[in-house]
Chains A and B, each alone.
Chain A
């Protein structure tokens, strides 16, 4: 992981330099067509929660289309792990977390540039195998004897939200496993190893051919805010700021809504 990050950083430096050179030599041509919005250049490295994988990959492409001289690189992983990496000095420009609590660990370490903005919200659903063979209708069905359920570990945002939802519902549930991130919990449903998992609605949307989502009322009490922030140590502040603004644009909002996120 560390090695890959280092290799990535080296690569980013190289491509970043290349981008700068291009803008330097191309200023003449640039001014001729500068009627358009001032676009940013260089590489923007975005650390984003695993649940943002599909939508941010699309938004990254749209951003690159709008800013032809910019490149967006993503590092998708569990939010808490990303926060640890950032606090330990990983080279990143933007951090998008799946909960305010994880973002707080970065702002507490004085790692964010300005105040983080909440750009979407996400809600939990019960992921079940395609066609819902066990007829799960709500949280209470998950406590039936023999039912195997995967939850996220409490240390990661989806696990914290699951605990909150179960507490709200007054349901005592013993999972067979506490997975390290939301995608791992979902993959246990896909592989048929568990009968259900509590995951985000967006994850079920992204995996719609393999799994179905069952909505449950108690999830309203455990909605996760997704904050995004430019990082203080960002090597490309202009690019980072442009990306954060772009994520809040109508175009990006359409992508996020289609993925199942809710407006903040």
Chain B
């Protein structure tokens, strides 16, 4: 009993250092926060506007990613096709691409002069940059790989025999997917969606490049933090704290509700 309980020092020390490395910057924010003027700063109208916009856009971006990303993950995990390795590598491109570059790339495709954007503009009169839809697109572009990778991992880990059994009992691929596969990997989808949402919430580079910065329309919390940093460090700290508290609260609540119970 005691033998099993003892944690090897070679694991405990790096684990502790890792935790400290992740948590210390948070402590830095807490130490420097202007606690005295916190209530007044929270009441500033721009803060709530940016927070609401951030929560809305990251949630819509996550839904968008789930609708497109889960089928994509299924395709990568279940259907062998030539070039699958390449496609899998391409899916992770937004992970390695600096977000600002992602924003420029989005402009080159969906911008007013972009490959698709110019067609959208001339045909429907729709332009995406500098709109809230643009924010959602930028966030989804950066966050979708997190979902796809998580769901694909869950699919590969799931026992394929359940699906085979469903198939032998006469279920088509779609029925198998909705009635067997999806319930089987639901925790993986939930975990991927949470990761995806968190990444979308913190998105900065692609958003400010593709969607610009305008209060109430495209200025999300990370953008507000960045601009506050230009003139007022304390305001930037307050905004960062709000974003942290809100996101950690939501993530913790979701974790208890979905991931552990599932």
Query: Is B111 at the interface (CB under 8 A from chain A)?
Result: yes
Query: Is A7 at the interface (CB under 8 A from chain B)?
Result: no
CA distance A61 to B107 in the complex (A): 35
Query: Is A225 at the interface (CB under 8 A from chain B)?
Result: no
CA distance A20 to B94 in the complex (A): 45
Known contacts A178-B213, A188-B212; is-contact A193 B229 (Cβ 8 Å): no
Query: For B107, what are the chain A residues with a Cβ–Cβ distance below 8 Å?
Result: 191, 193
CA distance A81 to B228 in the complex (A): 10
Asked if A191 and B230 make an inter-chain contact with CB atoms under 8 angstroms apart, the answer reads no
Asked if B113 and A177 make an inter-chain contact with CB atoms under 8 angstroms apart, the answer reads no
Asked if B227 and A192 make an inter-chain contact with CB atoms under 8 angstroms apart, the answer reads no
CB distance from A151 to the nearest CB of B (A): 10
Query: Is B53 at the interface (CB under 8 A from chain A)?
Result: no
Asked if A175 and B229 make an inter-chain contact with CB atoms under 8 angstroms apart, the answer reads no
Asked if A179 and B213 make an inter-chain contact with CB atoms under 8 angstroms apart, the answer reads yes
Interface membership of chain A positions 133-158, coded 1 if the CB is closer than 8 angstroms to chain B and 0 otherwise:
00000000000000010100101100
Query: For A87, what are the chain B residues with a Cβ–Cβ distance below 8 Å?
Result: 233
Known contacts A177-B214, A180-B208, A193-B107; is-contact A153 B227 (Cβ 8 Å): yes
CA distance A150 to B112 in the complex (A): 14
How many A-B pairs fall under 8 Å by CB? Answer: 61
Query: For B233, what are the chain A residues with a Cβ–Cβ distance below 8 Å?
Result: 84, 87-88
Query: Is A45 at the interface (CB under 8 A from chain B)?
Result: no
Query: Is B188 at the interface (CB under 8 A from chain A)?
Result: no
- Contact size range, B: 20 to 34
Query: Is B130 at the interface (CB under 8 A from chain A)?
Result: yes
Asked if A177 and B212 make an inter-chain contact with CB atoms under 8 angstroms apart, the answer reads yes
- Contact size range, A: 20 to 34
Query: For B229, what are the chain A residues with a Cβ–Cβ distance below 8 Å?
Result: 81, 84
Query: For A118, what are the chain B residues with a Cβ–Cβ distance below 8 Å?
Result: none
CB distance from A128 to the nearest CB of B (A): 15
Query: For B219, what are the chain A residues with a Cβ–Cβ distance below 8 Å?
Result: 178
Asked if A177 and B218 make an inter-chain contact with CB atoms under 8 angstroms apart, the answer reads yes
Query: Is B226 at the interface (CB under 8 A from chain A)?
Result: yes
Asked if A150 and B230 make an inter-chain contact with CB atoms under 8 angstroms apart, the answer reads no
CB distance from B191 to the nearest CB of A (A): 29
Query: Is B129 at the interface (CB under 8 A from chain A)?
Result: yes
Closest chain B residue, CB of each to CB of A156: B230
CA distance A188 to B127 in the complex (A): 14
Query: For A111, what are the chain B residues with a Cβ–Cβ distance below 8 Å?
Result: none
Query: For A175, what are the chain B residues with a Cβ–Cβ distance below 8 Å?
Result: 214
Query: Is A176 at the interface (CB under 8 A from chain B)?
Result: yes
Asked if A176 and B212 make an inter-chain contact with CB atoms under 8 angstroms apart, the answer reads yes
Known contacts A179-B212, A180-B213; is-contact A153 B230 (Cβ 8 Å): yes
Asked if B230 and A155 make an inter-chain contact with CB atoms under 8 angstroms apart, the answer reads yes
For the complex of A and B, list the 3 residue pairs with the smallest distance between their C-beta atoms, beginning with the closest: A177-B212, A80-B230, A155-B230
What are 25 of the A-B contact pairs (CB < 8 Å)?
A: A78-B230, A80-B230, A80-B231, A84-B230, A84-B233, A88-B233, A148-B130, A150-B212, A153-B213, A153-B230, A155-B228, A155-B230, A176-B129, A177-B130, A177-B212, A178-B215, A178-B219, A179-B212, A179-B213, A180-B213, A184-B209, A191-B107, A193-B111, A193-B129, A193-B130
A residues apposed to B, CB below 8 Å: 78, 80-81, 84, 87-88, 105, 148, 150, 153, 155-156, 175-180, 184, 188, 191-193
7 more A-B residue pairs beyond the given contacts A176-B130, A178-B227, with a C-beta to C-beta distance below 8 A: A88-B233, A177-B213, A177-B214, A178-B213, A178-B215, A191-B108, A193-B130
